[in-house]
């Protein structure tokens, strides 16, 4: 059984003026998401600036999200690392804190061979009992998990159940679905490709767009799954210009700016991320005004 179907939000991590995690604001953002039909909260992912959180902050954010959500929707904790032992530690602690599932990215910087990826994910999965969604985002990690590797892991490791595919390669999505015979929970990792991924048997998206349009992103997926392909497609096409604006600079720079423009200021970004360029901010503002 899938951890979730629909649109899960890769939620931002808000900071105060001292660059400390703002838990009150995080609570507000979680409540906004749940009130607007988000199907899952993904905490401490790329959009949550997990790479700049200390281990203590990382785990406290997971614990806070689990407690705040209180089983209303699944909470999936980002626990990946380029160090296998660190990923195991974060995964085990997330399980203790009550997360419903884990999102584990491929190793970055040191990367890995396909053999290394199998060893990495297998070791993490065997250290916990939670279901695991692998996260393939070669544009950030420099490491592409090949379809054959995905199929091997899903077949051989019981609690590896899904993948967030953010390669932007629809042919790769198709090959994964073919090699696994559809026996995988496929989530789009690219907001501009939600409907194409659904058309190949995907069951949802782990989304940046959901931070600012949670109901619409939920509807885009659910309408497709319920058979209203035209309505789903129309939503996908409607939001393409805004999605493009949300990725005109490194994520999560634009989405944090968008939340601020919407009156839900999540505070600053931690360096090395910096505030949005004025021209890009105007572009984002113009697209927000259209929806």
Domains of the chain and CATH, by start:
6-226 (3.20.20.70)
Q: What is the CA radius of gyration of the chain?
A: 18
Q: What is the pLDDT of residue 291?
A: 86
Active site residue 135: yes
Rounded to the nearest integer, the mean pLDDT of the chain is 98
How far apart are the two ends of the chain, measured CA to CA in Å? 35
* Residue 233: CA count within 13 A, CB half-sphere: 6
Catalytic residue among 32, 63, 135, 239: 135
Q: Is the dihedral of CA 278, 281, 286, 287 positive or negative?
A: positive
In DSSP notation, 148-192 reads HHHHHHHHH-TTEEEEEE-SS-HHHHHHHHHHTTT-SEEEES-GG
d(CA 214, CA 160): 27
Q: Alpha carbon 1 to chain centroid distance?
A: 19
Residues in the chain: 291
| CA distances to 73, 231, 253, 255 from 269, in Å | 27, 35, 7, 11
**Does the pLDDT of residue 1 top 90, yes or no?**
no
d(CA 270, CA 273): 6
State the average pLDDT over residues 187-205: 98
Active site residue 164: yes
State the average pLDDT over residues 16-21: 98
State the average pLDDT over residues 232-236: 98
pLDDT in tens, 42-85: 999 999 999 999 999 999 999 999 999 999 999 999 999 999 99
pLDDT in tens, 171-182: 999 999 999 999
Catalytic residue among 25, 63, 68, 164: 164
pLDDT in tens, 86-134: 999 999 999 999 999 999 999 999 999 999 999 999 999 999 999 999 9
d(CA 15, CA 22): 5
pLDDT in tens, 129-167: 999 999 999 999 999 999 999 999 999 999 999 999 999
Quickly count helices (H) and strands (E) in the chain. 12, 8
d(CA 145, CA 107): 10
């Amino acid at each position: 059984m899938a951890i979730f179907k629909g649109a899960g939000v890769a939620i931002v991590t808000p900071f105060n003026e001292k660059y400390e995690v703002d838990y009150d604001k995080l609570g507000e953002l979680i409540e906004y998401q749940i009130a607007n039909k988000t199907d899952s909260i993904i905490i401490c992912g790329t959009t949550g600036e997990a790479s700049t959180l200390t281990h203590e902050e990382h785990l406290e954010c997971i614990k806070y999200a689990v407690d705040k959500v209180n089983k209303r929707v699944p909470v999936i904790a980002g626990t990946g690392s380029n160090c296998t032992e660190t990923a195991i530690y974060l995964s085990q602690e997330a399980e203790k804190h009550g997360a419903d599932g884990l999102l584990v990215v491929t190793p970055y910087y040191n990367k890995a061979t396909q053999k290394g990826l199998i060893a990495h994910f297998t070791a993490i999965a065997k250290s916990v009992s939670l279901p695991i969604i692998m996260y393939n985002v070669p544009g950030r990690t420099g490491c592409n998990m090949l379809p054959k590797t995905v199929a091997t892991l899903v077949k051989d490791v019981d609690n590896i159940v899904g993948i967030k595919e953010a390669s932007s390669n629809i042919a790769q999505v198709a090959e994964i679905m073919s090699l696994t015979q559809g026996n995988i929970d496929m989530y789009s990792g690219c907001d501009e490709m939600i409907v194409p991924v659904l058309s190949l048997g995907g069951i949802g998206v782990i989304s940046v767009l959901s931070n600012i349009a949670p109901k619409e992103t939920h509807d885009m997926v659910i309408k497709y799954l319920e058979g209203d392909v035209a309505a789903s497609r129309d939503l996908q096409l409607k939001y393409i210009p805004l999605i493009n604006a949300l990725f005109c600079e490194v994520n999560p720079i634009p989405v944090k700016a968008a939340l601020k423009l919407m009156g839900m200021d999540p505070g600053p970004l931690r360096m090395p991320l910096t505030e949005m360029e004025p021209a890009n901010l105007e572009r984002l503002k113009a697209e927000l005004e259209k929806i």
